[in-house]
Structure 1
């Protein structure tokens, strides 16, 4: 993908930046690129084969890699909800997902797809592995997890160009696997990188269920809607209701549409994060920094020109904060967690009381 990227700043400025979502284990990772990195990255896992790769990268580069363990919705069909002692056969498992709602002519496509699919893995096995990895790395996150209503299952993975089957993964199956992973994140108090594609209502409903189910424990962790494609109105609804949810955008995904500028302007300045969403570690810094500059342009924030400018300007007067300092503060808030609802003001409570009285009178 070709983009005219903003030129990189001095490494001492990049040292304050965190790429909150990338996939460095999806391609060869040159050691020289890792040792030359001055920023930090959140390295995502997506499927079983990724978990040990992320683990190894974090062990090799503990100062620059924040490991993220989790299962991506593109691979949820590989997971069975049945107990380990009663996992169905490969054919039965995938038929239960793909054939009930399919058209009759899809039977041939199913037979073509089946040889490329792995034997299903029990969800309890997946969760046990996640628990072990998250426990081994006290600062690890859960990611990449989420919901995707657009993805069609590949006949073979990976392959280029992709050959797509007609099948999508049922939303109910996705939600069950995602909620099980999120419950583990809440238990272990781990932050989350959340994927959401063509699922704004399902995502909003999911967040509401998690908040109702876990209460303060849910608010103790932070959730990042990565490469967020919500409308400004959709984001504002989530932002008002969920103080623990943050927003990150990437040049590679979001800059395809000018709508991302409106989204950046709609978000509260304290909820913005930046990411590359890239698989090549050498492009993590360029693509993340490009989004830093895009945020500065959209919000009218200055871009610091030196590390001293970043480090010395922080303070109570937020009008003096540059984009790098602001994003660094947002990351610290995300990493720290422990969010709480803003208390209602007396004026607002009084207005609500008057409204309630008025409604009661009308009912009478």
Structure 2
């Protein structure tokens, strides 16, 4: 695939990828032509993402957090034993013989559960050590099924899902940490868009402007165009970043990209091998260019020199190409500090008053 020239690639950001899922090549970072946001998802990822960001701070923005696919490996309170922890999450009160046999196979490959308090302390420290780091990948996934062995090829899924309430507590606490520390968020949400909006409403009511100061990216979002309109209407701090690897599996993604406000759109690869991150991100850039009718720049025209002095008139926004538009969105995402319209704030105030009234009635 033909890539834009290096001067243009230097302004492309892959806002969500997993390069530590595979070995980092010796040639890194020479074969990385764009900026990437490297996600962590489970215990093994956290130090790898730290190492990658330390090795290449100019091209790698780290993200620290715990993904819902591994939420079952986290204990909210200290368990009696490893077995008791996984039994409490995965087995019903009257499991079948089939369930018991499958559970034993799953249990073999599960680590000792980690206390969530310890995990939050770890995430907090990583964020403190990397002031530009995001919180991610965190989120919710209703249908996720636990594999017998995540690292096996092929990966065979068991019948066990991760209780949604358990996921919800872990996600919401990490989101609250992001708001407390004013860190932007990369979020996974699969068949959980209503629950995601409810969490956002609770956090907005609890934290006020601190919530709106933080940007949230719904990565590889599979929401319908109608559902996205609801997100966009309610939450001025929420962005979306489609990926070729996931979104193009369905024709619905074209309608979704077409619907998204030009100022809320980002792009990502959601890929795992560093040598392919550029090409995978440019594939989505080409898709966005086609759907939105934004031409891709073939040269980069700087509006300022290194001293910050204007060397030419600013390019009118209506003449921006795809890369300049997406870069502007990314800068807005990083800046945060969004503020909703007054009518949205009034809705949250009514939500709060109703909640207080209900609590008083119960008392």
Q: What TM-score do the two structures reach when normalised by structure 2?
A: 0.89
Deviates more, 1:26-35 or 1:38-47: 26-35
Q: Given the alignment of the two structures, is residue 117 of structure 1 paired with residue 116 of structure 2, yes or no?
A: no
Check the 8 A contact 1:304/1:310 in 2, yes or no: no
Q: Given the alignment of the two structures, is residue 20 of structure 1 paired with residue 15 of structure 2, yes or no?
A: yes
Q: Given the alignment of the two structures, is residue 268 of structure 1 paired with residue 267 of structure 2, yes or no?
A: no
Q: Given the alignment of the two structures, is residue 74 of structure 1 paired with residue 69 of structure 2, yes or no?
A: yes
Give the Cα–Cα distance (whole angstroms) in 1 for the partners of residues 8 and 118 of structure 2: 42
Give the Cα–Cα distance (whole angstroms) in 1 for the partners of residues 46 and 232 of structure 2: 31
Q: 1:230 aligns with which of 211, 217, 223?
A: 223
- Within a 5 Å distance, the mapping from 1:210-229 to structure 2 comes to 210-229=203-222
* Corresponding residue number in structure 2 for 1:354: none
Check the 8 A contact 1:194/1:223 in 2, yes or no: yes
Q: Given the alignment of the two structures, is residue 171 of structure 1 paired with residue 164 of structure 2, yes or no?
A: yes
Check the 8 A contact 1:45/1:71 in 2, yes or no: yes
Q: 2:88 aligns with which of 96, 105, 121?
A: 96
Q: Given the alignment of the two structures, is residue 34 of structure 1 paired with residue 34 of structure 2, yes or no?
A: no
* Corresponding residue number in structure 1 for 2:141: 148
Deviation track 1:222-245 (CA, whole Å, cap 9, x = no partner) reads: 000000100000001001100100
SS, match of residue 41 in structure 2: coil
Moved over 4 A (4+): 309-316
SS, match of residue 32 in structure 1: coil
Return the offset for 1:35.
2.4
* Corresponding residue number in structure 1 for 2:274: 281
Deviates more, 1:151-160 or 1:69-78: 151-160
Give the Cα–Cα distance (whole angstroms) in 1 for the partners of residues 261 and 36 of structure 2: 23
SS, match of residue 274 in structure 1: coil
Check the 8 A contact 1:134/1:140 in 2, yes or no: yes
Aligned length: 336
Q: What TM-score do the two structures reach when normalised by structure 1?
A: 0.88
Check the 8 A contact 2:139/2:188 in 1, yes or no: yes
Give the Cα–Cα distance (whole angstroms) in 2 for the partners of residues 233 and 274 of structure 1: 20
Give the Cα–Cα distance (whole angstroms) in 1 for the partners of residues 133 and 126 of structure 2: 8
Return the offset for 1:87.
3.0
Deviation track 1:179-237 (CA, whole Å, cap 9, x = no partner) reads: 11111111111110000112222222222222222211111110000001000000010
- Within a 5 Å distance, the mapping from 1:1-364 to structure 2 comes to 6-82=1-77, 86-100=78-92, 103-104=95-96, 105-308=98-301, 315=314, 317-343=316-342
CA RMSD of aligned residues (A): 1.8
Check the 8 A contact 2:31/2:275 in 1, yes or no: no
Return the offset for 1:335.
0.5
Deviates more, 1:333-342 or 1:195-204: 195-204
5+ residue gaps in structure 2? 305-310, 344-363
Give the Cα–Cα distance (whole angstroms) in 2 for the partners of residues 341 and 221 of structure 1: 12
Check the 8 A contact 2:14/2:268 in 1, yes or no: yes
5+ residue gaps in structure 1? 1-5, 345-364
Check the 8 A contact 1:21/1:193 in 2, yes or no: yes
Check the 8 A contact 2:303/2:314 in 1, yes or no: no
Return the offset for 1:303.
1.4
Return the offset for 1:18.
0.6
CA change 1:65–1:197 in 2 (3 A) is same
Check the 8 A contact 2:4/2:297 in 1, yes or no: no
Return the offset for 1:25.
0.4
